Amino acid sequence: MLSRTADNLYWLSRYMERADFLARIIDAAQRLATLPTAYGGTGSEWESTLNAAGALDGYREHVGAVNETSAIYYLAFDPQNSSSICNCLEYARTNARAVRTALTIEMWQSINGAWLEMKRFQAIFGKPGTIDRLELSRFLDFIRKASLDFDGSAERTMLRNDAHWFSRLGLYMERADTTARILDVKYNVLLPATEQVGGSLDYFQWTAILRAVSALTAYNWVYKETIKPWLVADLLILRPEMPRSLRSCYDDIARLLDNIGRAYGRPGPSQSKAHKTLRLLETINIEQIFETGLHEFLTEFIESNDALGAAIGGQYLIHVDEGTTETQAQSQA
């Protein structure tokens, strides 16, 4: 298949996953921000949320001082934020149009339908300013449904060939990255030392993390005990049964890359990188991670995940500069 087609499929899934993640962290931050400081509200909730989204620097440059309304607008709607939810959906659809023939009709309809619905919300949230909370929660629900719909269509309707593998690869690469980022932003509240006798001020912080990766119920099923920070880290880093854990993502990433390598008859650097990370996640335990330092572990993971992304790019894809297609079209018109 064309490298550009593979590239489009890969990024299409990444953008859909990113939109979903952003919707979840906005939702979680909204809950935390309404807590009195006595319950662990830190007052810097939006700053750390912007940070988890990798958008803090851009926000400071374009907007300035952090407050809730502006942060929500920036993360969800702002055209200036290249990774706002609306821009993610816009890029996803642009990628989808470019590879329409490689998508099933169901995938196209889910993307196109979501894009049309987004236009309606954009009309409501056209400008920064006050946020209609009811409409916002509708919007965040809609985004989560859209990514469910897209994933469901991809799972249920795509042929199991390289197109499917590249598409799913994008999903798990993005998911591994976002899970690691949200953990890293919050790593200080996950350290064992923060546990206080008789419950912790950080309790709501932990549940917020779990909520952001839709793992609150999963936690209860897996551990059957009250929320402990090191178990939150264990769940999201090492548990293979947790679909957003780093381990689970790498199970899928390694499997997908193996499929591609086998089909093309020659594995390369991406396969060996993925297996190296997977081996680490399989063998290390959470105590060892805390010994070496949670923050250090996560930083290293994010870097190696980026390096894997670059290796996949070099081996199979061409990275498309999002700005170029537009200017090309103008020169033709």
Partner 1 sequence: MANGRFFDEMTKPDGLPRDVYQRVAHWLASAPPELLASRRSQAELMFRRIGITFAVYGDKDSTERLIPFDIVPRVLGRSEWTRLEAGLIQRVKVLNMFLADLYGKGEVIKAGIIPEDIVLNNEHFRPEMRGVKVPHDVYVHISGIDIVRVDDHDFYVLEDNARTPSGVSYMLENREVMMRLVPELFAQHRVAPVENYPDALLSSLRSVAPKQAGSDPVCVLLTPGIFNSAYYEHSFLADKLGVELVEGRDLLVKENVVYMRTTQGPQRVDVIYRRIDDDFLDPLAFRPDSALGVPGLMSAYLAGNVTLANAVGTGVADDKAVYTYMPEIIKFYLGEEPLLKNVPTWRCREPDSLKYVLDHLPELVVKEVNGSGGYGMLVGPHATREQIAEFATKLKNDPDGFIAQPTLNLSTCPASFESGIGARHVDLRPFVLSGADGVRVIPGGLTRVAMKEGSLVVNSSQGGGTKDTWVIEDFQGGLV
Instruction: Confirm or reject binding of residue 325 to partner 1 (CB under 8 A).
Output: yes
In the list 39, 62, 82, 100, the residue contacting partner 1 (rule: CB under 8 A) is 100
Size of the residue set binding partner 1 (CB under 8 A): 31
Can you spell out the DSSP letters for 269-329? HHHHHHHHHHHHHHH--HHHHHHH-HHHHHHHHHHHHHHHHHHHHHHH--PPPTTHHHHHH
**Rounded Cα distance, 134 and 167, in Å:** 33
**Rounded Cα distance, 71 and 181, in Å:** 18
Residue 78's identity, in one-letter code, is: D
Report in angstroms how near the CB of residue 12 gets to partner 1 at its nearest. Answer: 13
In the list 31, 35, 97, 194, the residue contacting partner 1 (rule: CB under 8 A) is 97
Q: Which residue's structure tokens are 């920070």?
A: 229
Site for partner 1 in 233-262 (CB under 8 A): 260
Instruction: Confirm or reject binding of residue 122 to partner 1 (CB under 8 A).
Output: no
Instruction: Confirm or reject binding of residue 69 to partner 1 (CB under 8 A).
Output: no
**Structural contact between residues 181 and 302, judged by C-beta atoms closer than 8 angstroms:** yes
Residue 51's identity, in one-letter code, is: N
Residue 237's identity, in one-letter code, is: I
Q: Quick one: how far is CA 16 from the chain centroid?
A: 9
| CB closer to partner 1, 6 vs 235 | 6
Gap between the terminal Cα atoms of the chain: 29
In the list 98, 191, 216, 280, the residue contacting partner 1 (rule: CB under 8 A) is 98
Using CB under 8 A, which of the segments 101-109, 117-125, 219-227, 269-277 binds partner 1?
101-109
| CB closer to partner 1, 1 vs 124 | 1
Instruction: Confirm or reject binding of residue 328 to partner 1 (CB under 8 A).
Output: yes
| CB closer to partner 1, 256 vs 260 | 260
Which among 102, 113, 115 has a CA at the least distance from the CA of 158?
102
Report in angstroms how near the CB of residue 331 gets to partner 1 at its nearest. Answer: 6
Site for partner 1 in 24-63 (CB under 8 A): none
In the list 6, 53, 66, 183, the residue contacting partner 1 (rule: CB under 8 A) is 6
Count CB neighbours of 285 within 10 A.
Answer: 10
Show the binding pattern over residues 151-190: x = contacts partner 1 (CB under 8 A), - = does not.
-----------x---x------------------------
Count CB neighbours of 309 within 10 A.
Answer: 22
Show the binding pattern over residues 293-322: x = contacts partner 1 (CB under 8 A), - = does not.
-----------------------xxx----
**Rounded Cα distance, 79 and 98, in Å:** 21
The residues that touch partner 1, with contacts defined as CB under 8 A, are 1-6, 94, 97-98, 100-101, 108-109, 112, 162, 166, 260, 264, 316-318, 324-333
